[in-house]
């Protein structure tokens, strides 16, 4: 995601929300598709590195409850894998 693709404001980020199943609960995550594209571009080698980067970036635009972070990690990697395979 280039500098011009970043949302200009919170309202623009909210327009980029995608619903994802996180531990059996559907949550809306802002900027997920852009974040997945960014992380793919890093060509990280390990699953842990990919998941760490996804979660780090998702926290910029979304609240991730500490008690649910493991579930978010699983969900982010699942969504990453779906996009990579498509």
> What would the pLDDT profile of 8-61 be if each residue is shown by its tens digit?
776 666 678 999 999 999 999 999 999 999 999 999 999 999 999 999 999 998
Residue 62: predicted pLDDT: 93
Q: How far is CA 50 from CA 1, 20, 25, 38, 60, in A?
A: 16, 18, 23, 11, 16
pTM: predicted TM-score of the whole model, two decimal places: 0.82
Residue 5: predicted pLDDT: 66
Residue 84: predicted pLDDT: 87
- Say which DSSP state 4 is in: G
Residue 13: predicted pLDDT: 61
How far apart CA 80 and CA 59 sit, in angstroms, is: 16
DSSP for 51-74, please give it.
HHHHHHHHHHHS---GGGHHHHHH
Q: Other C-beta atoms within 10 Å of 32: how many?
A: 24
Higher local confidence (pLDDT), 85 or 63: 63
Which sequence spans correspond to the domains of the chain?
A: 3-85
């Amino acid at each position: 995601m280039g500098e011009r693709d970043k949302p200009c404001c919170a309202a623009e980020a909210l327009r980029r929300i995608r619903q994802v199943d996180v531990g059996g609960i559907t949550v809306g995550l802002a900027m997920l598709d852009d974040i997945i594209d960014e992380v793919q571009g890093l060509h990280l080698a390990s699953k842990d590195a990919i998941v760490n980067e996804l979660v780090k970036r998702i926290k910029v635009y979304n609240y991730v409850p500490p008690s649910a972070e493991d579930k978010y990690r699983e969900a982010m990697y699942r969504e990453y894998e779906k996009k990579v395979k498509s």
